[in-house]
Amino acid sequence: MSYLSTISSPTLLIDEKICRANLKRMAEKAKRHELNLAPHWKTAQSRKIGGWAKDYGITEISVSSIKMAEYLSGQGWKNIHIAFPFNVREIPTLNTLAKAQSISVQVINPVTAKRLVDELTVPVGFFIEIDAGYGRTGVSVSDFGLIEEILLISKKSENLNFKGFYLHAGHSYYMPDIPELYEQTRNALSMLKNKYRTEYPELLTRTGDTPGCAVMEDFGDIDEMGPGNFVFYDLMQEKLGGCFKSDIAVVLAVPIVDINRERNEILVHGGGVHLAKDALKEEDGSANFGEVVYLNEHGWEIPEIQNRSYLKSISQEHGIIKASDSLMQTAKIGQLLGILPVHSCMTADAMGSYLSLNGEIIDHCEGSFGKN
């Protein structure tokens, strides 16, 4: 029985071959540059896909929450890093988790460091997050007083162990000059490594954005990289030049519920609760919430550029497709179409599970598997 025959409502499809190819390519790149690859699993959030990653020598991952760390613990990971400024209210959970799973956390202020020193009952590693320059989070690269205060506090407990510096250049998603941005990243992490490695000879530096990790070939003396979105990629990454549309490993299958032939528009069951509301801009300034592909027994087919159709608007459950003439000629109510997501991380998080092309339901932290 075809996987398509099992779909009646919006369903996130995954092509294992494409996903594995993405994992393999990034693992080979990391090896080529003598970097440890510790991918950010906030994109996939899956135990099953984690097994695929291990096939390519990936032994560590990062996550964005302690809930995700709990879900992925006990799966054979050498270490799980919680790549988010640590929430001190979760120290009891951290103590329980770290009894059986090697865990590291992110610290950006002395108050959190002090609470961890006072309340940890088992060893936990920590990275100091460095502000990449766009002000979201982290310690300023030149604030040595704050860095050294955190380090001094950490020395008061054998349970809080300094691992190194973490810098996520997330503004690579909207900065046009990624090589210039990476020069800043390399310089910042190299400076910190040179300053502190005498006292901490095993100090590591890690960077982690997919746009940079996908396109750059000069990582300087950075030790580790932790991109996340590369596992699936999406239209945003394609626009940034980090992948081709054929590298996108997930597609949202949506049923057609109405067709307006006067406006060349197709109404589908698929909206913000399925795709989130990230959008790209078309040349005319209109919004693009995802592009149409044609589903078949073996996956999906990407139409030629002249036959491109895209979601022009979405609400909670509704999606309206601006359809090409070729799509209008073949579209039928009840037919399934595929939507390449603008932001696959958010789409996967919203959907909470995947359907493989062989009909297997694949787990996701936010789905029913994560609630058991």
User: Residues 358-370: pLDDT tens digits?
Assistant: 999 999 999 854 4
pLDDT digit string (tens) for 97-133? 999 999 999 999 999 999 999 999 999 999 999 997 7
The predicted pLDDT at position 210 comes to 87
Please report the DSSP string for 228-274 in residue order: -GGGT--HHHHHHTS--GGG--EEEEEEEEEEETTTTEEEEE--HHH
Helix (H/G/I), strand (E/B), else coil: 328 = helix
User: What tokens does 334 get?
Assistant: 């009840």
Backbone angles phi, psi at 208, to 5 degrees: -155, 15
76 CB-near residues (< 8 Å, 6+ apart): 54
pLDDT digit string (tens) for 238-283? 998 889 999 999 999 999 999 999 999 999 999 999 999 999 999 9
The predicted pLDDT at position 170 comes to 52
User: What tokens does 309 get?
Assistant: 């159709």
The predicted pLDDT at position 216 comes to 83
| Nearest by Cα to 320 from 360, 352, 372, 275 | 275
The predicted pLDDT at position 371 comes to 42
**What is the rounded distance in angstroms from the CA atom of residue 73 to the CA atom of residue 93?**
13
Helix extents (H) in the chain: 16-32, 47-54, 66-72, 91-98, 110-119, 144-154, 178-196, 210-215, 235-240, 272-275, 325-330, 344-351, 368-371
Residue type for position 86: F
**The residue to which tokens 């460095």 are assigned:** 130
Q: 214: burial class by Cβ within 10 Å (0-12, 13-18, 19+)?
A: buried
| Residues 270, 264 contacting (CB under 8 angstroms) | no
214 CB-near residues (< 8 Å, 6+ apart): 26, 227, 230, 237, 242, 243
The predicted pLDDT at position 168 comes to 82
Give how far the C-alpha of residue 53 lies from the chain's centroid of Cα atoms, to the nearest Å. 14
| Nearest by Cα to 126 from 83, 97, 89, 169 | 83
Which residues of the chain register pLDDT less than 70? Answer: 1, 134-135, 169-179, 181, 368-372
**What is the rounded distance in angstroms from the CA atom of residue 53 to the CA atom of residue 229?**
13
Pairing of strands 224-225, 299-301: unpaired
The predicted pLDDT at position 177 comes to 60
The predicted pLDDT at position 172 comes to 45
The predicted pLDDT at position 211 comes to 81
User: Would residue 164 be called left, alpha or beta, if left means φ above 0 and alpha means ψ between -120 and 50 degrees?
Assistant: left
| Nearest by Cα to 230 from 217, 241, 243, 218 | 243
| Residues 77, 101 contacting (CB under 8 angstroms) | yes
The predicted pLDDT at position 137 comes to 83
Helix (H/G/I), strand (E/B), else coil: 369 = helix
The CA distances from residue 18 to 11, 149, 191, 205, 362, in Å, are: 18, 46, 38, 30, 15
